[in-house]
Amino acid sequence: MKPSDVTVLVPTYNEKENLPKLIPAILAEVPQIRILVIDDNSPDGTGALADRLAENTPQLTVLHRTAKEGLGAAYLHGMAVALEQGAQAVITMDADFSHSPLVLPRFLDLLDQHDVVIGSRRVPGGDVENWSLLRHAISGGGSLYCRLLLSPKIHDFTGGYNGYTREALRRIGLDRVQTKGFGFQVEMKYRALKAGCRVMETPIHFVDRTLGASKMSGKIFVEAMLKAIRLRFQV
């Protein structure tokens, strides 16, 4: 897929330490790709920083939201804007370097043949760095739970490094996606399967953030697991 037809969606909340490094790292791998930073009114000034970066980076656009309403809400807003701007595919990516920009060229190649590409920590070649044993247990248990409840076809339901073609988003129907928090990742993948999208997983090396504060919490994990139950009986 042509890089200029793809928009990388980067949601931010208090990411001023990471963003100035991430934008050039993305463009070093794929110079023509578009980037949409979706800032949820970060109190640390991330939004204003993104605006300054955009002044000298024509590939970068900044979407300012008025409040922190959840990861899913930010992504849905960003997807709608990217589609309006003509994007033929979007890639969802964390701002904290847990998702390596080095994988982006592979995503673009795979999106030529698939509707949805999942950056997976749980297929051969995928792994995680800098996690505690407890977090490994929680994440692994959550992934197994989603596979048993929803579908064995996807090994990493909860990961956030994913690519969706314009056709995939049309089939999923963004107006039908209900989850505003981290359960959004589970819902999007399950809806893609139910809609008959061509879904594939590619291995990634996930590195836990070294700068800034993690947004993950027990409450977020429980929300995602409860969402899986609702999806199983509602979609």
Structure confidence by residue, pLDDT tens digits, 102-124: 999 999 999 999 999 999 999 99
Q: CA–CA separation, 49 vs 52, rounded Å?
A: 5
Residue 194 has pLDDT above 90, yes or no: yes
Q: What is the pTM of this model?
A: 0.89
Quote the pLDDT of residue 235: 54
pLDDT tier for residue 63 given thresholds of 50, 70 and 90: very high
> Which residues are CB-contacts of 24 (< 8 A; sequence separation ≥ 6)?
none
Instruction: Give the Cα separation of 188 and 43 in Å (integer).
Output: 29
Give pLDDT tens digits for 7-45: 999 999 999 999 999 999 999 999 999 999 999 999 999
Residue 217's CB is within 10 A of a number of other CB atoms, namely 10
Write out pLDDT tens, residues 141-176.
777 888 888 999 999 999 999 999 999 999 999 999
pLDDT of residue 64: 98
**Mean pLDDT, range 175-182, rounded to an integer:** 87
Quick one: pLDDT band at residue 192, thresholds 50, 70, 90? very high
Helices 71-84 & 184-194 angle (0-180, nearest 10): 50
Amino acid in the structure at residue 71: L
Q: Provide the mean pLDDT of the chain.
A: 90
